[in-house]
Every structure is written in C-alpha cells, then in structure tokens.
Structure 1
Amino acid sequence: MDTKSVVEAYLATWNAEGEQRAKLLAAHWAPDVTYTDPLADVSGHAGLTALIDGVRAQFPGWVFTPVGEPDGHHGRLRFRWGLGAAGEEPTVVGFDVLVLDGEGRIREVLGFLDKVPAGA
C-alpha cells in the first residue's frame, strides 16, 4: 500500500468537480464507502458527492492539502489535511483514518476536526 498515493487520490477527489470527481470516485473509492466525521455521516458515491458539493459551496475557492506525512499499515492509514485558500496556511485542519478494501480502494473514512475557526 502506497499511503502517499492514496492520500493524494483522496485529496484530489475533494478538490475535483463533475466528471473528474466521478472518475476519481470510481477509481479510488469503494462503491459502498462510508464517511463519518463530527458533521457528516454518509455512504456511497452519491452521499459522498453530496457532502463534497456542500463543503465546496461553503468554502468556495478553498483547496484541501496534505499536512505532514501519512502513516499506514494493514490496509489502514491516517493523515492530516488542511483546507484553506490556495498557497496560504490552512484555516481548517483535520485528521482522517481510512480503511481500504481488498482492491486498495477507500472503503471507510473516519474523520476528526482538529482546527475549526469560529464561523467556519
């Protein structure tokens, strides 16, 4: 398992739109993926797409970026991410744990929010 590539695909999915996002979902996310964080609990590609659309609408023009290095073992990995204006210090920082399926696709996401400013 190449943890860096999985994280890159994960973040690319959150930053993509339309057909590009659909291709990333099909290639890197299990069809029955579940995503749970303090603000959301969704499943499947449609649920995840709706969640991503909502976040992108709330934070237009912001991008997800990696924070630090990912770590992984036994089909599980953890990493930190940032969300903010491109090229600037992230305004929001989170910590996610991913569980991969037998084909190396993201099957489960458990998310935590480490830094969320008031009003975000």
Structure 2
Amino acid sequence: MTDFTALAHRYIDAFNETDPVKRREVIEQLFTEDVIYTDPLGSVRGWDGVDQFIAGAQGQFAGLIFSLPGEVDGHHDIARFSWHLGPAGADEPLAIGFDVVAIDGDRISRVLGFLDKLPG
C-alpha cells in the first residue's frame, strides 16, 4: 500500500531541491519515466519535462519554499493534497495550489494541478 503522505512530502522536496543533480535524482525516483504533468501554467511529459518545469518555477519564485499545509488524502492509486508557496516562516503564503496525483506502483505517473491563489 502506498504511503500517500510520504509521497506528497517527496513531491514537495522535488520542488524545493535547487541543486540540479540532486533534483534530477529525486525526480527519477519519484516519477515514472513517462509522467504527465499538467497545471494552468503548463503541461509537460517525462523526467526532462518535469525537471525543466520545476527549474522554471524555482527561477520565477526564487527563494520561496513549497510546503504541505494539511493532510494528504488518498485511495486506490490516487492522492490529493494542497500546497503553499512563500517565504520560510511566513504567516500567509504567496501562492496556494491543489494537486491530484495518479500513482503507478510507488511512483507518480500523472499530476493534475490547480492554482487557488497566485502572487499579485
């Protein structure tokens, strides 16, 4: 059985890993090779696509940290969780999102992301 909370924490870790080599290692361990990632800001496929997408988000939001603000909910081969993006220790996040992930074995095969709040 998949530990959905641990998987979501690894997902957040991937978005926070700024070392390109370490980030790629996390991506290859966390996602299937043919992963599909879709949110309002883009749609990518595969490890290279996810790596470039995360690098782009890090460039756009340099110095900000992704975090899990609440519980992770999952059943069968899907999970959902909210995330926050903001300065470490901030009272209010600059961005809030909600992701649904499909899981194949112990890896994420699909991400459907939604944005609830974006920085002005």
Q: Considering the TM-score relative to the shorter chain, is it more than 0.5? A: yes
Which residue number corresponds to residue 99 of structure 1?
Answer: 102
Within-5 A mapping of 1:1-120: 1-16=2-17, 17-88=19-90, 89-101=92-104, 103-118=105-120
Identity among equivalent pairs (%):
43
Q: Secondary structure at 1:111's aligned position in 2?
A: strand
How far apart are the structure 2 equivalents of 1:33 and 1:90? Answer: 28
Structure 2 unmatched runs, 5+ = none
How far apart are the structure 2 equivalents of 1:107 and 1:40? Answer: 16
Asked if the contact 1:34/1:41 (under 8 Å) is kept, the reply is yes
What is the RMSD computed on CA atoms of the aligned residues?
A: 0.9
How far apart are the structure 1 equivalents of 2:117 and 2:83? Answer: 10
TM-score (norm 1): 0.94
Deviation at 1:27, TM superposition (A): 1.1
Structure whose residues are more often strand by fraction:
1
How far apart are the structure 2 equivalents of 1:23 and 1:48? Answer: 12
Instruction: Report the number of matched residues.
Output: 117
Structure 1 unmatched runs, 5+ = none
Give 4+ residue runs of structure 1 displaced > 4 Å after superposition.
none
Asked if the contact 1:25/1:45 (under 8 Å) is kept, the reply is yes
